[in-house]
Amino acid sequence: MSSLFNYSYPLDNFGFGVVYSVDTVDSSSYFYNMSNSYPVEFATNFMGLGLPASLYQEVISLLKFVTNNGIQCSNTLDGICTHPGACSDLSAISDYYFMFNFNSSEPEGHYMRVPIAAFATVVKHTGGDSTCNIWISYLDELATQSQNIILGGMFFQEFFGVFKNDYNDIQDPTQSAQLFVGQNSIYNAYIGNEILPEGTNPFITPPTPPPEEPGFSVVWIVVLSCVCALLLGFLGFALYRWKTAQVANPRGSQLVYNDNLEKATEKDGLIGVE
């Protein structure tokens, strides 16, 4: 591919998204194309991936969404993203990619997927804790060199780049570049033209299922519960009335009526009462 006059490489589109795989084979993908597009500049004196401010904001908002706000990103010049804990704790690191679709790619239709993991490093602290640094840097768009997406040295850990400078017109030298997946790539970097079916959009909150309508069984449970409660209440009330009746006349069972008394005195030979 050929460079622009300032030796940057224009993009048709720049995306951020996820590749779904089944048994380590890519099965589908979903990429969100950024509204802002800038040319790409290769610079080995730069650490990771540099993004002009507006593009940085777009990427960071998506990255925060897919990590449930698990990462912190600095909006200051050269600010990067950090995640408390090991990079391996952050599944987005291994699942998400940047897609570069170069304007002048040859063969036509080839694109490049750069894994986020290519820009991640682990920092070990003395207490044993770790921090995962994601070297996606905020660039000030007012600076001349910050008008481009910068792919720095970490990019060349996953990719192999060949650059050809042509000085036949000494006043206007030109540059072209060839990119290949590196011999030592370990994070599933990709260059090619594979077309994957569109997978689930990871950048929207899945709709919450509507609350279930109370079913027939639920209605019956409620009715039976009410009936049981009424029955228990009635039984309690009856028991209460029986108890209160007993308290009002505690010796009632020992009463001896006149008829019984007469019979008792006759039988036992006692003197009757007139």
Partner 1 sequence: MGPTSYIWDGFVDPETFIATYSIEIARTTTLSSDLGATQIPSNITFGKSSEAIAYYAGK
> Footprint of partner 1 on this chain (CB under 8 A)?
6-7, 42-44, 86-88, 93, 117, 120-122, 124, 132, 153-154, 156-157, 159-168, 173-175, 178, 180-184, 186
CB of 191 to partner 1, least distance (A): 10
Looking at the Cβ atoms of 28 and 175, the one nearer to partner 1 is 175
Q: How far is the CB of 95 from partner 1 (least distance, A)?
A: 13
Closer by beta carbon to partner 1, 8 or else 137: 8
Q: How far is the CB of 160 from partner 1 (least distance, A)?
A: 4
Tokens of residue 43, six digits: 């610079």
For partner 1, give the closer residue by CB, 18 or 34: 18
CB-CB contact of 33 with 74 (8 Å): no
Q: Of 34 and 179, which has the nearer Cβ to partner 1? A: 179
Q: 6 or 61: whose CB is closer to partner 1?
A: 6
Cβ atoms 159, 102 nearer than 8 A = no
CB of 210 to partner 1, least distance (A): 41
| Shortest CB 130 distance to partner 1, Å | 9
| Closer residue to partner 1 in complex, CB, 73/118 | 118
Instruction: Give the shortest CB-41-to-partner 1 separation in angstroms.
Output: 8
| Number of other residues whose CB lies within 10 A of the CB of residue 45 | 7
